[in-house]
Chains A and B, each alone.
Chain A
Amino acid sequence: MAELNIENLIKSYGSFTVLAFERWALKDGLYWIKGGNGTGKTTLFKVIAGQTPFDGGVSINGISLRRNPSLYRSLLSFAEAEPQYPPFITGNELLDFYCKVRKTTIKSADELIEQFKMGDFMNNKINSYSSGMLKKLSLICAFTGNTEFYLLDEPLITIDTASAQVLYQCIQSRRKEGATFMISTHQALEHTAVHVDGIFEINQQKISPC
């Protein structure tokens, strides 16, 4: 079970403030983050993932990103909306790196690779991947290892319907193990496939339930 706490967040790009709110907390569950283009969904995800500088505090289960960055990052897994990786490495080399960092074996990802039908491509260089394959690789990497908090930014774009079902299964099984999910998507989540515990919207730099 993972709890997220954000306090006094201010995130600006130059003089343009994207996010500014005093407090936002999430308890165990699956949450859908909505908002139009440019409202700051990806920025919020990057703030929580520790990928971009910001003012304020973020913590998961009381572990602060500022005070204990490595331990904090070991608790979360982030799949970006438009993943970018070195084009000259293979899918397996990238996965191997993730496994080493997350202290797990590449064998543990075999089932995921098979489910996403990526087995034939994992030894190919990333520059030969289509955008859908790149997205599936990023999801395989995100679900490799056991983390407690998952950030999935637009996980449904570019993947086919069969892969979307695999993704829903992954989410379901990790939810049963107690993981918390934050998902942003413009497409509606299938309520029969996953149970959404809360929907939030970013509007005018603030995040609020809707």
Chain B
Amino acid sequence: MLSVYIKTLAREFYAQHAGLFIFLFYMIFAAVEPGQMLSFHLSLLIGISASPVILGIFLLLFTVYALKGFLFIRQKLNQDIYQFIYISNAAARKTQILNWFGLFMVICLPMLIYAVMLFITAVLHGNYITIVALCIYLSGIFFLMARMTYQRINYQFTSIKIPFDIELPGISKPYWTWPLYYLLKEQVIMLLICKLLSFVFFKGIIWAFAGDTPDVRVYMIAILAAILSHTTLIATVLRYEKVNLSFVNSLPLPGWKRLAHTVVFIVLLLLPEFVLYSFASGFIPYIIIAGIVFGVSGLLLLRLSLYFLGDDMDRYLKFIFCFFVISMTAIIFSQFFLFSLLMLFFVTAYHYYLFNRNML
């Protein structure tokens, strides 16, 4: 059972969160000079294992990551294509829980590897509180997620209370707000975690690259981090639109209006990041415009790429990696504005191509 879970659920999780992992990798390894990397991480591990406060922050980050993975699995289990997983409820309770335990360990592998290194550091330095805390926390969180998933698989007939079910005001909802309402009504935890990660990455990049003189490229990398934090969310919204808004395709809505609706949605989605970015960059109009154009065109490109890639998450992962490399190159060589305009031109042309082919 576990191998099936890994080949399907875990594989899709890693593919959809490629952007996040690229940035995690970048933050952990590339933000430090190569010569100092080993000593930096050794000091960091010793610091975490010696201080209960820093250990608490580490475990909090682990929890956020684990929650993201848990919700991802929950969401997948609600989809028709994953209904075959429910056959597993015929297996013994212990077998089921162990398999889910294993899956969540695979899902949390990047954090788990760091936790194991932390455990070894704590053993070597005799930090027994850290050893005990890590053992209790890791076994506890994996068991909890496995137990809750087991509950979901075996007790579908019990009613579920939706957490954070926001009752939105009863005002009329115009068409262009429907994707936002979808996120606020049906993907609220995913949205919150996405925003939390985006914020952490955004501030982390600015903190990691802060110099004596302000450099616009640092803010652009922060915007790139925000774009990559939204890769899963944008794919989820598109999937919803393809199912629930397909009827719009037969209505006389011009192509420019369809594009405008999507742009407005993306601007609203990235609004908190744009506000942060404007504060960080000191409200210089040119820099603000460049950041907004880059953010909007980047997310539009990722969204439209899913039409081209046909929802193939492996290819989406490769596309995200290429997007990251090309964007970083454009930013490092200070060509981000030209790059953003080129992206905007390309996505507009591709949008009209899809529209005229009845694919939008």
Contacts and interface: CB of A to CB of B under 8 A. Distances in A.
Contacts of B254: 70
Interface stretch (A29-37, A89-97, A191-199): A89-97
A73 interface: yes
Given A53-B358, A69-B356, A97 B175 contact: yes
Given A51-B358, A53-B358, A101-B253, A85 B247 contact: yes
B252 A74 contact: yes
Interface string B236-257: 0000100111110111111100
B186 interface: yes
A96 B359 CA distance: 24
Contacts of B172: 93, 96
A71 interface: yes
A180 to B, nearest CB: 16
Interface in B241-281: 243-247, 249-255
A179 interface: no
A66 to B, nearest CB: 6
B86 interface: no
Contacts, number: 72
B183 to A, nearest CB: 11
Nearest to B186: A88
A84 interface: yes
Given A84-B244, A89-B178, A93-B173, A51 B250 contact: yes
B182 A51 contact: no
A85 B251 contact: no
B247 A102 contact: no
Given A84-B244, A86-B244, A93-B172, A49 B250 contact: yes
A49 B249 contact: yes
A88 B174 CA distance: 12
A138 B173 CA distance: 18
B359 A88 contact: no
Contacts of A74: 252
A83 B252 CA distance: 18
Interface residues of B, number: 27
A89 to B, nearest CB: 6
Contacts of A51: 246, 249-250, 358
Contact of B251 (A52, A66, A101): A101
A89 B173 contact: yes
Tell me what chain B mostly uses at the interface: helix, strand, loop, or mixed. Answer: helix
Interface in A57-116: 65-66, 69-74, 76, 78, 80, 83-89, 93, 96-98, 100-102
Contacts of B243: 84
A178 interface: no
B244 A85 contact: yes
Contacts of A101: 251-253
A67 to B, nearest CB: 9
Contacts of B173: 88-89, 93
Contacts of A76: 250
Contact of A65 (B175, B251, B358, B359): B358
Given A70-B255, A73-B250, A86-B181, 20 more contacts: A50-B249, A50-B250, A50-B358, A52-B358, A65-B358, A69-B356, A73-B252, A73-B253, A78-B247, A83-B247, A85-B244, A86-B178, A86-B245, A88-B182, A88-B186, A89-B173, A89-B181, A93-B173, A96-B172, A100-B175
16 contacts: A69-B255, A69-B358, A70-B253, A70-B254, A72-B252, A73-B250, A73-B252, A84-B243, A84-B246, A87-B244, A88-B186, A93-B172, A96-B172, A97-B175, A102-B251, A102-B252
10 cross-chain pairs, A with B, having the tightest CB-CB distances, nearest first: A74-B252, A49-B250, A73-B252, A78-B250, A51-B249, A88-B185, A70-B254, A50-B358, A53-B357, A97-B175
Interface of A: 49-54, 65-66, 69-74, 76, 78, 80, 83-89, 93, 96-98, 100-102, 138
